[in-house]
Amino acid sequence: MDKLTAWMEKHILPIAAKIGGQKHLVALRDAFIGTMPATMAGSVAVMINAIIRDLPPQFWPDYDASTIPIISQIIEVNGFVWNGTLAIAGLIFAFSWGYNLAKAYKVDELAGGIVGVATLVQGIAFSYSTNIKGAIPKELVESINQGTADTGWSATSHGITAGGWGWLNLNHLNGNAYFTVMILGAISVIIFSKLMLADFTIKMPDSVPPAVSKAFSAILPATISLYVIAIINFIVSKVSNGQLLIDLIQKYIAEPFLGLSQGFGALVIIQLAIQVFWFFGIHGMNVLAPVLEGIWGQAQLVNIDVFQKGYNGKTGTAAVLDAVKDGKAYLWVRGSFDAYTMFGGSGGTIVLILAILIFSKRADYLAVAKLSVGPGLFNINEPVMFGLPIVLNPIMFIPFILAPIVTTAIGYFATVLGLVAPVSQQVTWVVPPMLLSFLATGADWRAPIVTLVCMVVAFLIWAPFVLSANKMEEVD
């Protein structure tokens, strides 16, 4: 074990450190974190609706929240919150990504955020057109065509066409925009930043107020960067017969990535990487946040969106399950890790603390465990990670790697087999275990049971190594 640890320190640790400090990845991580005030507010709204609208019918089939005073009004208010948060999550992320990327290059952050937003919005749909074929009576055709200029509706004897301009497609502004924002936002903001650093700016006299001078200095870099994106959008539109780049990115990049993320092998790889980073004292969740949030985080936003808007005439969890069958929602998302593997923090360390309190005879372990109980209940495990420590502790390496992979398997196959609903809510990670999984699955009472099973299995994995640590102390 000592040789393995030494080898990993020599070959893996330097790579891990470089990844953890790479400025573009750090900016991407911070961009996801920066959206949390909005996404969490929207998630609270959807979660409240799940509890008061979607949970009761599971027990009272005749329950109809829309007919109950106060309850129906709360649902409507939550809808407004959702409109301004999760419904436009991609737009919010565009600003956060531009801001944090400009910050990484040490140029004007506000201008970077504005460039990020403009990059996304210039390439989304601003119009719609729908055709309905069928025999239309002559009188109805004339009636529809009289208001064509105002309504956008026109008709012939063979069908009706509806169209309009100034209509923004929310599917281009919500979580579906993440991959487009990450790719095109990076191109535009990096060009903007490079031009700013090259001092390719408009110079203003010293007498001009600093705020005005700062704004003018960003004009040329922002204009050039946005024209580069506009040319890309133009070329793609011409080559693809009018298709939007955002739709092509979603179809040929985002959806394949999200599809791959649903395989158990992908979960093992990402979970293994998180644990290995942590073992060397590098925050695995932070380092891999671009992957976790960019792939599984987007999948979670899709589930939340389907849960709120409905699918095939269904709402709530039933809508999500229907959408999963059609490839429009996902069984395993970002919150699934928190629900079934991160109880107490990475490695499921709340059960390690319990195993120490029951089996350990080492005074140092017991002291750390007692201090770690409180934070551990809220999934904060730095005290045990660095106090026990788990970091670079050979005896803790195997259970720290193995336990999360096994619990991931339990949570994954329980979800795939339909034993528990998919995660469809975004719950802050500091919510205690079992309560977190209950809320995250739209109040599915079976989810805490699955989490409890995961905790018991993780406890059985950790316990023998805690007992072995007793023997190590006896040798000392």
Name the residue ranges covered by the structural domains of the chain: 91-121+171-259, 127-167, 281-475
- pLDDT reported for residue 193: 95
Q: Which residues pair with 154 in a beta bridge?
A: 161
Q: What is the pLDDT of residue 17?
A: 66
pLDDT at 8: 60
What is the model's pLDDT at position 474? Answer: 47
Dihedral sign computed on CA atoms, order 225, 228, 229, 230: positive
Q: Alpha-carbon distance 400 to 178, whole Å?
A: 32
Exposure string over 46-73, b if 16+ CB within 10 A, otherwise e:
bbbbbebbbbbeeeeeebebeeeeebee
Q: Which of 406, 408, 432, 438 is nearest to 420 (CA)?
A: 438
Nearest 5°: the CA angle 409, 410, 415 is 100
> In whole angstroms, how far apart are CA 242 and each of 123, 126, 181, 238?
12, 13, 20, 6
Chain mean position to CA 353: 29
Q: What is the pLDDT along the chain (476 residues), one digit of tens a residue?
A: 556 556 666 656 676 667 667 788 889 888 988 988 898 888 888 888 888 887 787 777 788 888 888 888 998 999 899 999 988 999 999 999 999 999 999 999 999 999 999 999 999 988 777 777 777 787 777 777 776 656 677 777 777 777 777 788 888 998 889 999 999 999 999 999 999 999 888 877 777 777 777 788 889 999 999 999 999 999 999 999 989 999 999 888 888 888 888 999 999 999 998 998 888 777 778 778 888 888 899 899 999 989 988 888 888 888 999 999 988 899 999 999 999 999 988 889 999 999 999 998 888 889 999 988 988 888 888 888 888 888 878 888 889 999 999 999 999 999 999 999 999 988 888 889 999 999 999 888 999 999 999 999 999 999 999 988 887 754 44
CB 312 within 8 A of CB 319: yes
pLDDT at 12: 62
What is the reported pLDDT for 476? Answer: 42
Q: Output the pTM of the full model.
A: 0.79
